[in-house]
Structure 1
């Protein structure tokens, strides 16, 4: 089992080189085909007051800017994949919906893995709708931190396990990476008491299953004493020894808040490791 079609979301020229580098590294590792995707969003039509008619000059400028960036991103992708001898393909889309367009999602749903860059507040032009990719593509999403400039071997992996469907999906979506890692730690935060299972044994079954796949796995349980699960995960990542975090994209309100809203969004805003999300 491995990833044979990897889709790289190349939404801006400033991050295209970084995302392509990670894409080519993964494609080389798994002998995969790399698909570079860029969506050009049709700009809102500027209107001229008082008649509120379209401003053709402004429309032309906006279109030229968008086309220039598309060309720059394509050139970066083609140059790097050609240099590395990777099986690669370029696709660009144009629509008012941008990365949420049906045509983009149809392509995304055919990939084994989607890779994209972490949302970067320093760049207002970061346009990819990561939430849409996670919720609508049905495919695992691997996010790359802005601080991680060059690909590195994925040796140490942390799985945030809460027993949910989403956590299970993420864990098995990450299996090709887990099998090649030197060590995989399953972290269970505040494990619930269940019939026939106490907090100390939570996570045992998934650990045993992964071990049967040849994964070098350990199990850790952590009690927050009323604290937040996100803080426990952040603390585990803070020593920079983890190369990849694997977690479900949505289980209940706590996990949704952790990923896309509220104070606990800091896990993704201050990423130090690759993060694989699935729903």
Structure 2
């Protein structure tokens, strides 16, 4: 199993460079075809008070700026793919719905892996909500790249945030190409104090045994939430073990970054220190 079709979501010139580099690195590793995807926003119509008359000149100027950004992103993507000899194609859609456009979501549903930028705290909440909708409607595993990462590096150490849920299982098997090529994989569960921990422990051992049959070097560990909150436990594990990739299930709540791992808050994604693969 390998990722053979990768969709790179290229939003702005800044994150387009980052996501292109990471997408090409993974494509080279798995011999994959890369699709560069960009949504060019249709300029909204500003109105001139007091008569609220549309201002065509302003609308055209805004649209020209959006198109120039598209051209910049496309040129960079094409140049980098051609330079590396990677199989690729470019898709750009003019849309008032941004990433929520059906054409963009349809493109994602035919791919093995979607790669997108984490984004930073300065982004408007509407932008994060738009990305949320796109990621979950795609039905595909999504690899988020922390905005602090500038260059890709080998994925040698992987942490699976395991709670025995359907989403966690989906994420684990969606990540198999990464797991099989990693040097070490750790199945890490966080046990609520009100539980005995037996089901979580057994589930962690069972998924570890399954992964071991794939030839994966896997270990099992756990922490208790009465010692520290789940987000802190995961973050500590990421730091202590120098993890390159975090694998976790995502839930379909209104704000997905506040509902990960059965109640883990947005802290995990807002302070990302590793690539994070999400599935639901």
Q: Same fold (TM over 0.5)?
A: yes
Take 1:114 and 1:83, find their aligned partners in 2: how far apart are those partners? 22
1:210–1:254 CA distance, 2 compared to 1 (3 A):
farther
* SS of structure 1 residue aligned to 2:116: strand
Q: Shift of residue 228 of structure 1?
A: 2.3
Q: Indicate whether 1:222 and 2:223 are aligned.
A: yes
Q: Shift of residue 121 of structure 1?
A: 2.7
Structure-to-structure mapping, 1:1-279, within 5 angstroms: 1-122=1-122, 127=127, 129-190=130-191, 192-193=195-196, 197-198=198-199, 200-225=201-226, 227-239=228-240, 241-250=242-251, 257-259=258-260, 264-279=265-280
Q: Shift of residue 105 of structure 1?
A: 0.4
Take 2:170 and 2:264, find their aligned partners in 1: how far apart are those partners? 25
Name the count of aligned residue pairs: 276
1:231–1:114 CA distance, 2 compared to 1 (3 A):
same
1:126–1:184 CA distance, 2 compared to 1 (3 A):
farther
1:34–1:199 CA distance, 2 compared to 1 (3 A):
closer
Take 2:133 and 2:270, find their aligned partners in 1: how far apart are those partners? 18
Q: C-alpha deviations, 1:99-134, integer Å up to 9, x for none?
A: 000010001100100001111234669947331233
Structure 1 portions without partners, runs of 5+: none
Q: Shift of residue 84 of structure 1?
A: 0.4
Q: C-alpha deviations, 1:191-228, integer Å up to 9, x for none?
A: 6448xx45543411101111111111000011121742
Q: Shift of residue 258 of structure 1?
A: 4.3
1:251–1:183 CA distance, 2 compared to 1 (3 A):
farther
TM-score normalised by the chain length of structure 1: 0.92
Moved more, 249-258 or 47-56: 249-258
Take 1:80 and 1:5, find their aligned partners in 2: how far apart are those partners? 17
Moved more, 156-165 or 240-249: 240-249
Native 8 Å contact 2:158 2:243 kept in 1: yes
Q: C-alpha deviations, 1:19-57, integer Å up to 9, x for none?
A: 101101111111110000000111221011222121101
Native 8 Å contact 1:165 1:251 kept in 2: no
TM-score normalised by the chain length of structure 2: 0.91
1:257–1:122 CA distance, 2 compared to 1 (3 A):
closer
Take 1:252 and 1:222, find their aligned partners in 2: how far apart are those partners? 25
> Alpha carbon RMSD of aligned pairs, Å?
2.5
